[in-house]
Structure 1
Amino acid sequence: MLYPERRDMLFRESLVPFAPADLHYGLRSEFMADKCLEKVNLVIGAYRDDRGQPWVLPTVAQAIQLYHDDALQNQEYLPIAGEQSFCKAAAHLLLGCEDSDMQNRKFSFQTISGTGAVHLGAVFLSKFLAVPKPLVYLSDPTWDNHVPVFTHAGLSVKHYQYYSTETRLLNFEGMIQDLQDAPRGSIIVLQASAHNPTGVDPSQSQWEQIAETMKSSGHFAFFDCAYQGFATGDLMQDSFAVRHFFQQGIEMFIAQSFSKNLGLYGQRTGCLHYVANPGSEASSTVQRVASQLSSLQRSEISTPPLYGAKIASLVLNDKTLSKDWLGDLATMSERIAKMRAELQGRLEELGTPGNWRHITTQIGMFAYTGLNESEVELLRTKWHVYMLPSGRMSVAGLNSRNVSYVADAIHDVVGKVKVRK
């Protein structure tokens, strides 16, 4: 026998059980195998055009051509902190202030998109935050990768009230109360715009109150910014919360992704920005934090990938491309807003039980439909319409050819089944 059975294997079944399959990609695989011609994928958060196809932004296509036409480009390693022309432009895009205002208070690291930025910040905080056993507070609900990223970094996770299932709006009073009650020095994870999964954001005045609560409670802010410009088409509006926190002198991490707003999904292009409190110690603090982030980045990925950062840098730093990019952002955000309006209108026309105004009051890629798990299951098994069991829908999967079909499907299943116990 070439490979005799070994009963002393280190990785025994009891030590290495099967991990649960990823829900998103499991549903994606099921969708791909579905033979129904009318099937609709409302699971994965990636933009699709009105033909239901992936869309390469015209400005990104131009940047790619410029990159390949440049004979001086090469494939050498980037520095540990990444492509600094990209990082500098990314920070300016978020914070909107001049270099002289930022240089003593912040440092930026290129990361493996937004997920890598959250991870790098989480590992740093688990090692260096000056609070014994710090708690991470996430919104309820939140992006489902937040919990494993922070727990894998060794941090304990709790949740603050955020979404009201009754009103389908922000539970602002509950959120503020939970932030006030959290132990001083807690890590509060906030989504800057187009909250995933609910599509419900605080107003600007509410963000101002949140910032005031964060300062008075001595919490550390950790922003996740995955949809700047993609949410409303307005870069300034989508980064209001981050800019306000910066202006208020609040110490924070900001995880920034260019997957959605540049369509660089597969390039995994992102940044982690550290912003220190203002004052005489700021520059020294930034340098020390940057040194430890460099050490962590070096041990985990050595240096970040080159291609996506080069393309993003061209778009962000070229005046013509950056101006044209605003048109691309408007194209995406306006199409999604149109699909929201058409879905709501069709449901109301059909007389579907319930109030569907939340479809258009929510913003961004995702809609929290209010459908229960059993209704979602019936949508998939009877109508071949796929979304997450929570009822979260990727609005980008809707188009002029399928939006009426999806509305008919929702109308058919609403109230037909109860939540399974």
Structure 2
Amino acid sequence: MFASSRAAVRQVASKQVGINVPLRAASVWAKVPQGPPDAILGITEAYKADSHPEKINLGVGAYRDDKGKPYVLPSVRSAEKKVVDAALNKEYAGITGVPEFTKAAARLAYGSDSPVIQEDRVAVTQSISGTGALRIGGAFLERFYPGGKTIYIPTPSWANHNAVFKDSGLRVEKYRYYNKDTIGLDFEGMVEDIKNMPKGSIVLLHACAHNPTGVDPTEDQWRSISDAVKEGGHYPFFDMAYQGFASGDTAKDAFALRHFISEGHRPCLAQSFAKNMGLYGERVGAFSIVCESTEEKKRIDSQIKILVRPLYSNPPVHGARIASEILNDSALNQQWLGEVKGMADRIIKMRALLKENLEKLGSKHDWSHITSQIGMFAYTGLTAEQMDKLAKEYSVYATKDGRISVAGITSDNVRRLAEAIYKVKG
């Protein structure tokens, strides 16, 4: 009101003195709508504002030690010191990144004895962590995949999958995955949906530690899923953000990917080193495609470079150099494998303690899903109303869908968490 009055006064005054003062034009961004808030950031903000001395944050998607503190792996500290002491230059990496890193990342994923590695049939590029790998993959498939431009992702899936693939130009559809009644895998529904997809569809698969449910297929189920994908002539796109972090065994966590390749699939893969090396802020990842031949690999590699160049031109080098040291130095590699197993074991222990405490309290519910699920996240089976009550009455913060980050559970807070869950669910 006051602004419009001032504008009117200026207009009258300008006419009186003969000065032509143009009115301020509306902003070119006046019609940009307010976007919705990020759900996880909202949880963090509510947690920070809470004054309760024993508040618990189970929304964060990063590993925490048993005191609830951020954790830097000792192997990462050692590798970083080696990188700094080497006094390397800060020149650009090539478009596809630090070669020592990308080669080692491919070996870690596919296995050093894999024919696709031995025969040099994997086109690989460094990426801006797992998200960047997915984005490069989405753009490559949109541009070159000869089948339909639709990618099917599980219900539910990591929240960013939908946005990344839509912004890549792909159409996103869903397939059944989680059964809320059993708090487990809807295996029959998943396989049925894969079989009913249009021939040649793109299927996104979480290689291990499904985010957000923590529900993974068994090895036998993966074999049947591979058969269904092959039967439909579909193209598998693996997202592997937790290799080693899920079970503590990097080979076991790569079973699905390696089995699909042994069955003749030629998948593409997004890798992240955020979780298994704790390199969250360094944004270290890789995108790769299994090819039929070295000649095909050369052509695909050339097109990946053409895609990457206008996106960000070259990836950052520091984090990739750290990861490269860990993957290529045998002593550091063994140390890291022990540390990543230690992280996985702590998560597994917290799952067991939560289940044990709930049972000790006399809960009549079956909590076996807490320990049968795997990885950083767990689907508790709690409703949105129960999660809201946990936050308001017990200062326990997590997402409304009942997902909790098991990394936020510690030896000190697990009993209080179990008591809070028991009080809201019984």
Structure 1: give runs of 5+ residues left out of the alignment: 416-421
Matched, 1:32 2:48: yes
Secondary structure of the residue aligned to 2:288 is: strand
- Show the 5 A alignment for 1:87-126: 87-98=102-113, 101-102=116-117, 103-126=119-142
Counterparts of residues 362-377 of structure 1 (less than 5 Å): 362-377=373-388
Give the TM-score normalised by structure 1.
0.93
Decide whether aligned partners of structure 1 residues 5 and 34 sit closer, same or farther in structure 2, where only a CA change above 3 A counts: farther
Query: Which residue in 2 is equivalent to 1:60?
Result: 76
Asked if 1:292 corresponds to 2:303, the answer is yes
How many corresponding residue pairs? 407
1:237-264 deviation line (CA, Å, top 9, x unaligned): 0000111112222121100000000000
What SS class does the counterpart of residue 126 from structure 2 fall into? strand
- Between 1:33-42 and 1:138-147, the stretch displaced more is 33-42
SS in structure 1 of the partner of residue 159 of structure 2: coil
Name the aligned partner's letter for residue 12 of structure 1.
Answer: A
Aligned partner of 2:174 in structure 1 is 159
Aligned-partner SS, 1:198: coil
Paired residue type of 1:301: Y
State the shift of 1:310 in Å.
0.2
AA of the residue aligned to 2:63: Y
CA displacement, residues 383-406 of structure 1 (integer Å, 9 cap, x when unaligned): 111111110000000001111111
Q: 1:353 & 1:99 partners in 2: Cα distance?
A: 48
Q: CA RMSD in A?
A: 1.7
Alignment partner, residue 290 of structure 2: 275
3-state SS in 2 of match to 1:176? helix
TM-score by length of 2: 0.92
Shift of 1:123: 1.2
Deviates more, 1:346-355 or 1:313-322: 346-355
What fraction of aligned residue pairs are identical, expressed as a percent? Answer: 46
Once the two structures are TM-superposed, the CA of residue 353 in structure 1 deviates from its matched residue by: 4.1
Deviation at 1:185, TM superposition (A): 1.3
1:398 corresponds, among 402, 409, 421, to 409
TM-superposed CA distance for 1:4, in Å, is 7.8
- Structure number with greater Rg is 2
Asked whether the equivalents of residues 83 and 110 of structure 1 are also in contact (C-alpha less than 8 Å), the reply is yes
Match of 1:341 in 2: 352
Aligned mates of 2:24, 2:392 — CA distance in 1: 44
* Contact 1:353 1:414 survives alignment (8 Å): no
Q: Does structure 2 retain, via aligned residues, the 8 Å contact 1:259–1:265? A: yes
Q: Which moved more, 1:243-252 or 1:396-405?
A: 243-252
Residue of structure 2 equivalent to 1:197: 212
CA distance in 2 between partners of 1:182 and 1:342 (Å): 41
2:325 is the counterpart of 1:310: no
Change (3 A) 1:5 1:177: farther
| Contact 2:116–2:290 (Cα < 8 Å) also in 1 | no
Give the counterpart letter for 1:118 in structure 2. Answer: L
Residue aligning to 2:254: 239
Cα deviation 1:298-356 (Å, max 9, x = unaligned): 10111001111000000000000001111101210111111101100111111224211
Contact 1:51–1:399 (Cα < 8 Å) also in 2: yes
Counterpart-to-counterpart distance in 2, 1:258 and 1:246: 22
Counterpart of 1:418? Answer: none
Q: Which residue of 1 is the match for residue 342 of structure 2?
A: 331
Q: Name the aligned partner's letter for residue 249 of structure 2.
A: D
Give the CA deviation at 1:8.
4.0
Does residue 266 (structure 1) correspond to residue 281 (structure 2)? The answer is yes
The one of 6, 9, 12 aligned to 2:27: 9
Q: Which runs of 5+ in 2 are unaligned?
A: 1-6, 11-20
Relative to its length, the structure with more helix (as a share) is 2
Q: Could you say which residue in structure 2 is the equivalent of 1:419?
A: none
- Decide whether aligned partners of structure 1 residues 100 and 251 sit closer, same or farther in structure 2, where only a CA change above 3 A counts: closer
- Cross-structure match for 2:184: 169
Q: CA deviation at 1:27?
A: 1.3
CA pair 21-193 structure 1, distance change in 2 beyond 3 A: same
Cα displacement (A) at 1:99 = 7.7
Partner in structure 1 of residue 372 of structure 2: 361
Q: Secondary structure at the match of 1:343?
A: helix
Distance 2:120 2:321 in 1: 25
